[in-house]
Structure 1
Amino acid sequence: MRGRPSLARGAGQSVLVVVGEPDLAELLATTLELTGYRVGLTGTAAEALARLGAHRFDLLVVDTALPDLTGADAVGRPVIAHRPPVLYLASYDCLDRIVPELGLGEKDYVTKPLRVPEVLTRMRLLLRGTSAGTAGGAPGYGDLVLDDTLCRARRGARDLDLTPAEYRLLRHLLGNAHRVLSKEQISRYVWGDFRGDNAIEQLVSRLRRKVDREATALIHTRRGFGYWLGKETGES
């Protein structure tokens, strides 16, 4: 019988948990400490801003249900010198507001009710993007690299020459590596609203031809569910 897969662990990174619900805050704080993180805890966005002004954190975990959280990016206001990546804890009915505002920064979300393994995995991927990515902090996966400053992408030595929609799609897939994204999630991220299935299929097809041409396939279809980016299990 196979054992349960091990949980994604931290390496002493400092995480600020911004959650107003006591039971959820205790669950997250205890879990993160047991899995190798240093945890700060606060119950309001105002307190979080004060903590961020006084201390440097590697990651924020923010509950979007906080009553004083004005907008999904309230914790990233310009008054904060260091802007760590943010993992939002969001109810499904607020995704229409959250997803379009994620932009191209180091931000991600998980839906409630929370699944601890998913929270830990999304945290590790966000932290990997800021500390163990490609040279210069550019987001990447293997030989696939994006330059958010110039909005350009390359795979190995080959420039991909992407359209704006293709770039946003690739950035979204890359930021959610090994996570299946539905057509609705992709559509709302790329265009800000939901478009028909055919529009998504055509966009993914164009991007796949550019990214995976003469190289190991990175963009995959999970039929009936959506699309994901990464290497298939067992590939080197």
Structure 2
Amino acid sequence: MTPEAPLPPAARFIDYVRTAVFYGVSFALALPFLLVFPLIVLPERAVFRVCMVYLKIQGVALRYICGITYRVSGLENLPKGAVLIASQHESTWETLHFQYLLNRPVMYAKEEIFSFPVFGPLTRKLGHIPVARVGGGDGMREGFRNGAETVAAGRNLLIFPTGTRRAEGADTLQSGVGVLYQLAKAPLVPVRVASGHCWPSDTALKFPGTITVDVLPPIPAGLPRTEVMQQLRRALAHSSEPAEKEG
């Protein structure tokens, strides 16, 4: 999502500079972590801690270079024990930073990511679930089973029921959400997020502002599929209000 009104040339130039510096700093920060990549043989929790150090440093860079901050409310609505977390999805920001904000959730990831250098082994080590672009019903059923087993093993499972990077307020839910909810037999926690005004999906540019995240009260386990879908649709009907964009 891009800003509603065209920016003056000087402001847009500043955004280009900020973005270029941010990516340069992010790459430079990644180099020391690549040196310890062989530590991927350590237990998952140890690898997770190393990754979170990098993401938190990146968050500092976002704040001081790009002027992007975040505000989270409702974390008390995350129950103890494993749950499904159903979040809106506006940008890459939430796929990265929800890792430490929402207690190490497992996510579904495109199958090809698992073959990427560095990212592939890390994604697999952290327990994320591969999803094939094609594969028909068998592939979907396997994905549902893997997701339910993840929850049964005690990990939160983060899903994006409105699909990838949908616009604010989109309320079209993927039909498989209800199936996964029934298989997992766990509460479902809706999360509203407004991140696209700072980290748009259609450009590499980053814009100053505040990303808002609202963790809503959980929908209890065991409801009929139609009812849980209705409740989730109402919960995600509107995004968190983004703070007014800064200069």
Q: Hey, which of these two has a bigger chunk of strand by percent?
A: 1
Give TM-score scaled by structure 2 length. Answer: 0.29
